[in-house]
């Protein structure tokens, strides 16, 4: 079910244990070859693809299209919310859902900059609503070791606007992918313990803006992207996401 396509009367017969999913995304630069909407389009792709598989076991909320993207603001077009505004938006939305009696909430994150504040939200909302199960899942963490098997470009290929994001975009919005503008990330070296990508996130956190990390806004290698890989990624992520949703409903 799609939350804002329902009428008020439709809600009367809905089981309040059905998980309600909120996509947390961003509007920000993705190098010279991907649109600003990349994170939103990817998050919505997973949410609505899952809805097609289990339409009666999930309710999808309108996506949050702007996230915490201060570190991208050196690049034209990027939009950002402060951490405080982002948290208030999510808190108010989730509180509204809980007000209507729903007890299972899934925050599906599709932007790296939302991860830390998302963890705070899970803890804060969880303490505020002890009878509600609240989960945050960042999509690239759902694929497990099988996701790594799809990586062809090696270390640092699957970062921002790299191999994986570009593959998904070739699947879901090929008309928005500027294939002629593909560039490998122009990575700037830093401490080895602070480098990483989707598959190998750094164990030690060092704050750097994207401009400091890569001068062209790409942290990865889109030249290894394919539509077929986008489909394989989608299957893996949907398997993991479906398992979470159905597990929540059972308890």
| pLDDT for 218 | 97
Rounded (10°) CA dihedral 164, 170, 171, 172:
100
In angstroms, the Cα distances linking 57 to 87, 121, 244 are 27, 24, 11
pLDDT in tens, 191-215: 999 888 899 888 898 999 999 999 9
Q: From CA 138, how far away is CA 43, in angstroms rounded?
A: 9
| pLDDT for 140 | 97
Query: pTM for the complete prediction?
Result: 0.96
Q: How many CB atoms lie within 10 A of CB 186?
A: 13
Nearest Cα to 24, choosing from 103, 131, 122, 166? 122
Pull the structure tokens for residue 119: 């963890």
| pLDDT for 251 | 75
Pull the structure tokens for residue 135: 């989960």
Please give the average pLDDT of every successive group of 10 residues along the chain, which has 251 residues.
97 96 98 98 98 97 98 98 98 98 98 96 97 97 93 94 98 98 95 89 90 95 98 97 94 75
């Amino acid at each position: 079910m799609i939350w804002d396509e329902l009428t008020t009367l439709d809600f009367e017969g809905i089981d309040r244990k059905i998980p309600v999913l909120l996509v947390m995304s961003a509007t920000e630069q993705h190098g010279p070859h991907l649109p600003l909407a990349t994170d939103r389009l990817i998050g919505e792709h997973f949410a609505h693809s899952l809805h097609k598989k289990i339409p009666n076991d999930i309710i999808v909320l309108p996506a949050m299209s702007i996230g915490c993207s201060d570190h991208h603001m050196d690049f034209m077009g990027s939009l950002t919310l402060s951490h405080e505004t982002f948290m208030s938006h999510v808190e108010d939305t989730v509180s509204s859902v809980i007000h209507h009696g729903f007890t299972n909430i899934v925050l599906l994150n599709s932007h790296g900059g939302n991860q830390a504040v998302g963890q705070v939200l899970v803890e804060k909302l969880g303490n505020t609503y002890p009878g509600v199960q609240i989960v945050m899942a960042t999509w690239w963490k759902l694929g497990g070791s099988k996701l790594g098997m799809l990586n062809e470009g090696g270390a640092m290929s699957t970062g921002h606007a790299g191999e994986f994001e570009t593959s998904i975009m070739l699947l879901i919005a090929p008309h928005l992918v500027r294939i002629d503008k593909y560039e490998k990330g122009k990575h700037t070296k830093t401490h080895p313990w602070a480098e990483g990508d989707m598959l190998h996130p750094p164990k030690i956190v060092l704050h750097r803006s994207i401009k400091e990390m890569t001068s062209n806004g790409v942290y990865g290698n889109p030249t290894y992207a394919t539509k077929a890989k986008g489909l394989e990624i989608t299957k893996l992520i949907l398997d993991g996401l479906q398992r979470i949703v159905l597990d929540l409903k059972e308890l």
